[in-house]
Amino acid sequence: MSQAKKNDTVKVHYTGKLTSGEVFDSSRERDPLEFKVGSGQLIPGFDQAIEGMEVNEKKTINIPSEKAYGASNPDLIRNVSQEQLPEDIKPEIGQTLIASGPEGQETRLVIKEVHDEHIVVDANHPLAGKDLVFDLELVDINS
């Protein structure tokens, strides 16, 4: 049987969990994830785990944060004056905002704290700084 290798296009079913067991994403109720192995489309630990797998093979992998979304960067946590918010927004902890950069790029911000004069927002990926666990099943290899 053939094994997945770099540059193969593969289809994978996965369930992503935190180390606490909390599921944050799964392909089980939809089509499997399709990607090119080694292309850098996915987090490194996930991509590397697929190499060498055979069709219908299942395994569980642990991915440390540095091979997932990296460490949480304190420089991406900022205070924003309440005056800078659109008038129709009543900020709440956990709320997601989208900020536009100077060249039109969008950044997802999560409100971490709300104060009278300002809010604290975090632009880190929600899974930054977290170790992850994935249940994987290789469904197809297209060399």
Q: Render pLDDT for 50-103 as a digit per residue (tens, 0 to 9).
A: 999 999 999 999 999 999 999 999 999 999 999 998 888 899 999 999 988 888
Residue 3 exposed, middle or buried by CB count within 10 Å (0-12, 13-18, 19+): middle
51 shares its domain with 13: yes
Is there a domain that residue 106 lies in?
A: yes
Q: Render pLDDT for 10-28 as a digit per residue (tens, 0 to 9).
A: 999 999 999 999 999 999 9
Q: Which residues contact 134 (CB under 8 A, 6 or more apart)?
A: 14, 15, 16, 17, 46, 49, 60, 61, 63
Q: How many domains does the chain fold into?
A: 2
Across 28-35, average pLDDT: 96
pLDDT at 1: 65
Q: E strands along 70-129, which residues?
A: 77-81, 96-100, 106-114, 118-122
pLDDT at 103: 87
Residue 143 pLDDT more than 80? Answer: no
* pTM beyond cutoff 0.75: yes
Is there a domain that residue 4 lies in?
A: no
66 shares its domain with 13: yes
Is there a domain that residue 42 lies in?
A: yes
40 shares its domain with 60: yes
Give the range of the structural domain holding residue 95, as residue numbers without chain letter: 74-122
pLDDT at 24: 96
Q: Render pLDDT for 103-141 as a digit per residue (tens, 0 to 9).
A: 888 989 999 999 999 999 999 999 999 999 999 999 999
82 shares its domain with 58: no
21 shares its domain with 46: yes
The domain that holds 92 is classified in CATH as 2.40.10.330
